[in-house]
Amino acid sequence: MANEQAVEVPQTLEGWFLLHDVYTLDWKAWRGLTDVDRERVVSQAGGWLACHAAVEKGDSAAYSVLTQKGDLMFVHYRESPDALAEVELSLRSIELSDYLRPSYSYFSVIELSMYELQAIVAMRLREAGVEHGTAEHEAAHEKEYAKQRERMNGRLYRDIPGGAYICFYPMSKRRGEHVNWYAMSMDERRKMMRGHAGIGHKYHDTVTQIIAGSVGLDDWEWGVSLHADDMIVFKKLIYEMRFDPASSLFAEFGPFYLGIRRSSDQLAAALGAGPRRS
């Protein structure tokens, strides 16, 4: 049996756990309520959302889903799977849940690959003119690594990004007969991800990207959330990334969910809870 070269597995850093929960509304039952009853249900739901968005460790947000894939999407960030289960079950305790039908959900955990951390450290050392292979380089590397690791905590443990719109989709890396991401060397993968990240960086002023790992947790390998005040920028960013080899050769995508953010005071608009038409 031929010896096979071991493939180096990249390390990751993990932060908050994420749940994207999508529901459709039972419109027939919802329309059957009186204006007073609907106002009561919406008010209770708004209070529920405000309460769960105010937790010390994590965040919650609601979005109106565009297209017929759903009506409402709740996004939750929490410190543990148990805390996510708690907020998921708490929705069942309010009256709005009587009119919601599960449509889709996705579970993941905010992830930063060491690809990125190592690339940042290397860039900082090059900018400082520290020569590779020297004792000075080793000391500077350890110092810069610790600095960047601390800085990463703000990305691992954060609130849900602002922005009027969200684009959420799951994805995986291809591992078929002709191309297999997981059979490539670390250097090859690192080089591709560096180019991929460079495209994303071009949009950092207009888009906040949250990458969450889900290998062994859900049906795909990552869940990606994009947040922005202009929905067209999602199209431009993703379209440009499709031409990058990390996507064009290796990426497989699941369903896309587009949403409009709704505060606790805006749930009435999300539920079409204005006065009934005569």
Q: What are phi and psi of 236, to 5 degrees?
A: -65, -45
The continuous run of DSSP H or E covering 192 comes out as: helix 186-202
Is 203 part of the annotated catalytic residue set? no
Determine the 3-state secondary structure of 1 from DSSP. coil
The rounded radius of gyration (Å) of the Cα atoms in the chain is 22
Give me 219's structure tokens. Answer: 């049906």
What's the rounded Cα separation, in Å, for the pair 168 and 209? 10
Residues 219, 171 contacting (CB under 8 angstroms): no
| Other beta carbons less than 10 A from residue 40's beta carbon | 13
What's the rounded Cα separation, in Å, for the pair 66 and 121? 40
Q: What are phi and psi of 77, to 5 degrees?
A: -110, 130
**Amino acid at position 112, single letter:** L
What's the rounded Cα separation, in Å, for the pair 245 and 188? 11
Out of 23, 169, 203, 257, which one is annotated catalytic? 169
Measured in residues, the chain has a length of 278
Q: Which of 270, 232, 221 is nearest to 38 (CA)?
A: 270
Q: How far is CA 197 from CA 87, 192, 213, in A?
A: 33, 9, 16
* Active-site amino acid positions: 169
